[in-house]
Chains A and B, each alone.
Chain A
Amino acid sequence: MTRNPYVRPISAREWVFRHPRYVRYMVREFSCLFIGGWTALMVWGLRALSEGPGAWTAFLQLLRSPAGIAFQLLTLAFALYHSVTWFNLTPKALPVPFIAAAHYALWAALSAGLAYLAS
């Protein structure tokens, strides 16, 4: 292999829409904007929590606003897509029988457990 192979410049528009696989890859990568944004929103919530009950109630109301609900629904959809793609890759990282199934089972158990604790 040559040391400095020539790489033809290619714009993102040129390759992303060339195959549905690349579009799915980009959707998966864009999940980080929503997961990261939602986490930053939770840091804002911690600030409210540190300021007292009034600030916390205002934060919960912000989450219930139309924009808050829309953002959380989008985050939920992208987060689910991230989970599914992440767990489906586990057999490549760790080639053990039923490794993906084990992750899905643990995911279900953790989700149910947290929902139960919070109810």
Chain B
Amino acid sequence: MKSHKPIVWGPFAAGGTLTAFLTPVLVALTLLQPQGLSYESMHAFAAHWAGKVVLAGAIFLSLWSAAHRLRITLYDLGLRADALAAAVLYGATLACTGAAAYYLVKI
């Protein structure tokens, strides 16, 4: 059987790199809430098609890498129902990304 590993591992590596570069500064920004987080600025960013693509892509990669890492961690902690964990976690990632895409289209 062909391995599915590259398919799940690729977005994990991409998301891990993306979150390593961006999550600390973004969390600092949501903590401090500068002018850039005003409704006008955020709405203008999310209303542009390029902003939508960037947001949807970043959300998908960040959630996927978190889901993949949690799956491996659950296995490390002794949970052997790996297929179930994978289905639930990757499924939640896709559902959450789908919700984000829906809100982005509405904006």
Contact = CB atoms under 8 A, between A and B. Distances in A.
Interface of A: 11-12, 26, 29-33, 35-36, 38-40, 42-43, 46-47, 49-50, 53, 56-57, 60, 63-64, 69, 72-73, 75-76, 79-80, 82-83, 86-87, 103, 106-107, 110-111, 114-115, 117-119
Interface of B: 16-17, 19-31, 33-37, 39, 41-43, 46, 55, 59, 62-63, 65-67, 69-70, 72-73, 76-78, 96, 99-100, 103-104, 106-107
A89 to B, nearest CB: 9
B36 A119 contact: yes
Interface class of chain A by DSSP: helix
A100 B34 CA distance: 30
Given A32-B69, A119-B35, 6 more contacts: A29-B76, A36-B62, A43-B103, A82-B19, A110-B22, A115-B28
B56 to A, nearest CB: 9
B30 A72 contact: yes
A40 B58 CA distance: 12
B24 to A, nearest CB: 5
Contacts of B46: 46, 49
A36 B27 contact: no
